[in-house]
Amino acid sequence: MNLYEYMGKDIFREYGIPVPNGYVVSSPQDVKKFTNPVAVKSQILLGGRGKAGGIKFAKTDEELKNAVSTLLSTKVRNMTVTKVLIEDMLNIKHEYYVSIALNRAAKSPMLIASAMGGMEIENVPDDKIFKRIIDPSLGYSDFIGREASQFMGLPPELSKQFLDILKKLYNVYRGEDCELVEINPLVETGDGKLIAADAKVVIDSDAIYRHREFSIQDPEKTPLELKAEGKGYAFVELDGDIGVIANGAGLTMATLDALLLHKGKPRNFLDLGGTDNVDIVINAFDLVLEAKPKAILVNIFGGVTKCDTVAQGIVEAKKKFDIKIPVVVRLSGVHEVEGRKILQDNGIEAFSEMMPAIERVTKVF
């Protein structure tokens, strides 16, 4: 789960990472009396805010009020801005980059740092990027920071501050179960202080249960995807016309791949997950029907999921939602014979193999 910059900075502040003085407003009335030149930053979850006009600067009371009302009344990168962060303007001498994220191959966190901050890290040449795996058992230790700071050519006073920030950033990464913590830019001010001018904190959604209450809607999700998320389904909307319900991410992806190779266009990805519950099947139909497909393909290979449970769910969903579009079902695996019998008894054709079901559904309309 992506956090807004101001939330990331609240966490940074809590862990002792220096951030600019600032406050968040959601209406121009909440703007405090002007004292210093400030940066006014729209709070959206997409990058590229600056270029899209989502960050403004104000040197007077009037400029500040204008900036806040403008940002709150316009869309930035097509996102409605509901909150604006107002921060003391920094006197920037240099911009650095630092982040910690998972390295999948090493099954460990990786520290990435560069003296070339302020831009997208993808555009920084490889030889200017410091990368180092952190052993999760040993955790962060100052020797790692010294390696990084030597690579980046930091002078002693900055290096001391940098090591302190790294230690705390690692504490955030571990303490808040992050997928990613990133400071870009990490600013060196005119008076030689390192300050996190931005904060990107992404929390592992599987670990949300042990953290503070967040409720943030992913801006890249469609309303139907958000609804599915609320009901616990892995669901992605696509632009075709065949609704898909399958179990297991791999089999669901393979189903979409096979449909496309047969010139069928999937309307969605829906992974039932491992379930043994009729209502989960009925609700899956509810979601897929809302996407208005022209046909529905169910492809189940039962393991944790039982075929008879799915069959019962399909029969009940058909009655409940009065489904008129073709529903093509493939059931294999645990309790497959029982499952296919339930469907046949209710006049629904059921295949035992995936490919005939794929071929049938691509030819039903």
Q: What are phi and psi of 33, to 5 degrees?
A: -60, 135
The distance of closest approach from Cβ of residue 299 to another protein in the complex, given in angstroms and rounded to an integer, is 9
Q: Which of residues 181-200 bind another protein (CB under 8 A)?
A: none
Task: Annotate each residue in 144-183 with x if it binds another protein (CB under 8 A) or - if it does not, as one string.
Answer: ------------------------------x--x-x----
* Cα–Cα distance measured from residue 318 to residue 74, given in angstroms and rounded to the nearest whole number: 44
Q: What are phi and psi of 158, to 5 degrees?
A: -65, -40
Pick the binder of another protein from 3, 31, 64, 258 (CB under 8 A).
258
Task: Annotate each residue in 122-141 with x if it binds another protein (CB under 8 A) or - if it does not, as one string.
Answer: x------------xxx----
Residue (138 or 143) nearer to another protein, CB: 138
Ordered DSSP codes for 92-127: EEEEEEEEEEEETTTTEEEEEEES--SS-GGGS-GG
**Residue 111: beta bridge partners?**
100, 132
Active site residue 170: no
- Asked if 313 interacts with another protein (CB under 8 A), we say no
**Residue 132: beta bridge partners?**
111
Opening angle at CA 311, ends 310 and 317, nearest 5: 85
Only segment of 19-27, 71-79, 163-171, 300-308 that touches another protein (CB under 8 A): 300-308
Pick the binder of another protein from 59, 355, 363, 365 (CB under 8 A).
355
- Asked if 301 interacts with another protein (CB under 8 A), we say yes
- Asked if 109 interacts with another protein (CB under 8 A), we say yes
* Cα–Cα distance measured from residue 304 to residue 300, given in angstroms and rounded to the nearest whole number: 11
- Asked if 333 interacts with another protein (CB under 8 A), we say yes
4, 15, 97, 173: the active-site residue: 97
Q: How far is CA 349 from the centre of its chain?
A: 39
Residue (92 or 102) nearer to another protein, CB: 102
Pick the binder of another protein from 206, 230, 263, 347 (CB under 8 A).
206
H/E element, 331 = strand 327-333
Only segment of 54-62, 252-260, 317-325, 340-348 that touches another protein (CB under 8 A): 252-260
Say how many CA atoms lie within 13 Å of 183 toward its Cβ. 29
Task: Annotate each residue in 13-52 with x if it binds another protein (CB under 8 A) or - if it does not, as one string.
Answer: ----------------------------------------
Please say whether the dihedral angle defined by the alpha carbons of residues 147, 151, 157 and 162, taken in this order, is positive or negative. Answer: negative
Question: Is residue 363 helix, strand or coil?
Answer: coil
- Asked if 260 interacts with another protein (CB under 8 A), we say yes
**Residue 103: beta bridge partners?**
108
* Cα–Cα distance measured from residue 180 to residue 158, given in angstroms and rounded to the nearest whole number: 24
Active site residue 182: yes
The distance of closest approach from Cβ of residue 336 to another protein in the complex, given in angstroms and rounded to an integer, is 9
* Cα–Cα distance measured from residue 37 to residue 87, given in angstroms and rounded to the nearest whole number: 9
Question: Is residue 278 helix, strand or coil?
Answer: helix
- Asked if 92 interacts with another protein (CB under 8 A), we say no
The distance of closest approach from Cβ of residue 355 to another protein in the complex, given in angstroms and rounded to an integer, is 6
* Cα–Cα distance measured from residue 60 to residue 19, given in angstroms and rounded to the nearest whole number: 22
Cis peptide before 185 (omega within 30 of 0): yes
**Residue 183: beta bridge partners?**
98
The distance of closest approach from Cβ of residue 330 to another protein in the complex, given in angstroms and rounded to an integer, is 10
Q: Which residues are catalytically annotated?
A: 97, 182
Residues making contact with another protein (CB under 8 A):
102, 104-105, 107-109, 122, 135-137, 174, 177, 179, 204, 206-207, 209-210, 220, 234, 236, 238, 246-254, 256-261, 266, 269, 271, 273-274, 276, 301-304, 332-334, 353-355
